[in-house]
Structure 1
Amino acid sequence: MKIEKLEISGLFLITPRRFGDDRGFFAETWSRRILADAGITTDFVQDNHSLSVKPGTVRGLHFQSPPHAQAKLVRCGRGRLFDVAVDLRRGSPTYGKWAGVELSAENGLQLYIPAGFGHGFVTREPDTEIVYKCSDYYAPECDGGLRWNDPDIAVDWGISEASGISDKDAKAPLLADFDSPFTWEGAA
């Protein structure tokens, strides 16, 4: 398993090693020991699986606030998506900045997103599935989000028009109106 730090502190790109033959492949997608050796000591408690039928479906930018903030380990189970994390940690030198990675069933890449980030994605193929681990259970009272097309964040989703935007995502607040409950602790 290869683990690389991304340009925003706390984000990691993880490339599981695949063992393949004419039947397909096998990959270890999570190892507490290997991730801990890289400094990722998150205890995951919940797995989520989402299907988006149409390409261009945007979901996000979502987060859970403290005391139920979530770190996530995200991968694509089928299809292809562009996954995005936005730094929402007050005091961070990259506050409001985003990083994105193409995740696909074919490339097997994973994105580790610590608590304190907004998370979203856009699908690139029909019937795309996203599978991710969370470090805390779903807590509706802590559920939050920012507008997916906020001009201050300016995510380049790589699409001319989004489809399947939920009312919740379309009406989410802008970064300029957001009082972040997250604080940057200078983590690597």
Structure 2
Amino acid sequence: MTVEFRQLEVAGSWEITPKQFGDDRGVFLEWFKDPAFVEAVGHSLNLAQANCSVSAAGVLRGIHFADVPPGQAKYVTCIRGAVLDVVVDIRVGSPTFGSWDSVLLDDIDRRAIYLSEGLGHAFLSLEDDSAVVYLCSAGYAPGREHGINPLDLEVGIDWPATSRSGEPLDLVLSEKDNAAPSLTEAEASGLLPRYIDVREWINGLD
């Protein structure tokens, strides 16, 4: 098998580790493979958009999510540099609501992470010019996009304090992410997806 899937603590998310083939010319790998994806996840990835984000060390993006349906599933990898990529369970009614898990994405192991619809996504750049690319199941739609503050103490993500080289990190957030509500505030305002709705939507995917 050229890619291996490991289910994360948050149901609906997986770490993907590719097998790398290297020689004196460089390295080749298959970072996405549909048959392995379908076997692990249960349906194909509906590719609607592909994004690339380049970030300086300390840049923190997220926690982002989209209304369900249709939501926005993401298949994410880091092609240069390193980021700590985090998935957060924001599905109201989920047995693991409010929990999170993380995967180190870098240009050494070249792992990827898949987050299904209804989950929150964030990452912290651990090196200047870290380049993250992700495949999305739905296109960007501003009216359906929301956020939770990535520094919310209730979620309690353990963000690294040092960069890839061991230097102290100064976190940099966008104004929008910095002003985003807490998990409790987002739930109270009705922004969060319901676990039952997410399950029904995903069960209907081919």
Residue number among 94, 97, 107 corresponding to 1:95 in the alignment: 97
Structure 2-normalised TM-score? 0.85
What is the CA deviation profile of residues 118-142 of structure 1, one whole-angstrom value per residue up to 9, with x for unaligned ones?
1111111111011101100111110
Residue number among 38, 43, 46 corresponding to 1:43 in the alignment: 46
SS of structure 1 residue aligned to 2:52: strand
After TM superposition, the structure 1 stretch with the greater mean CA deviation from structure 2, 104-113 or 154-163, is 154-163
Q: By how many angstroms is 1:70 displaced?
A: 0.5
Q: By how many angstroms is 1:65 displaced?
A: 1.1
Q: By how many angstroms is 1:106 displaced?
A: 1.0
- Percent identical residues: 38
The corresponding residue for 2:160 is: 158
The corresponding residue for 1:133 is: 135
- What letter matches 2:178 in structure 1? A
Distance across 2 between alignment mates of 1:40 and 1:34: 10
SS of structure 2 residue aligned to 1:74: strand
Structure 2 residues not aligned, in runs of 5+: 162-167
Contact 1:68 1:142 in 2 (8 A): no
Q: By how many angstroms is 1:150 displaced?
A: 0.3
Q: By how many angstroms is 1:161 displaced?
A: 5.4
Count of residues in correspondence between the two structures: 186
The structure with more helix, counted as a fraction of residues: 2
Distance across 2 between alignment mates of 1:69 and 1:130: 20
What is the CA deviation profile of residues 36-89 of structure 1, one whole-angstrom value per residue up to 9, with x for unaligned ones?
12234231221100000x211101111111234101001001000100010011
SS of structure 1 residue aligned to 2:36: helix
Distance across 1 between alignment mates of 2:125 and 2:41: 30
Contact 1:65 1:182 in 2 (8 A): no
- Map 1:168-183 → 2, pairs under 5 A: 168-179=176-187, 180-183=192-195
The corresponding residue for 1:23 is: 25
Q: By how many angstroms is 1:110 displaced?
A: 0.5
Structure 1 residues not aligned, in runs of 5+: none
The corresponding residue for 2:165 is: none
SS of structure 2 residue aligned to 1:38: helix
Distance across 1 between alignment mates of 2:42 and 2:132: 21
Distance across 2 between alignment mates of 1:123 and 1:40: 31
Distance across 1 between alignment mates of 2:193 and 2:172: 28
Distance across 1 between alignment mates of 2:25 and 2:194: 45
Contact 1:83 1:102 in 2 (8 A): yes
After TM superposition, the structure 1 stretch with the greater mean CA deviation from structure 2, 39-48 or 119-128, is 39-48
- What letter matches 1:177 in structure 2? E
Pairwise CA RMSD:
1.6
- Map 1:44-63 → 2, pairs under 5 A: 44-52=47-55, 54-63=56-65
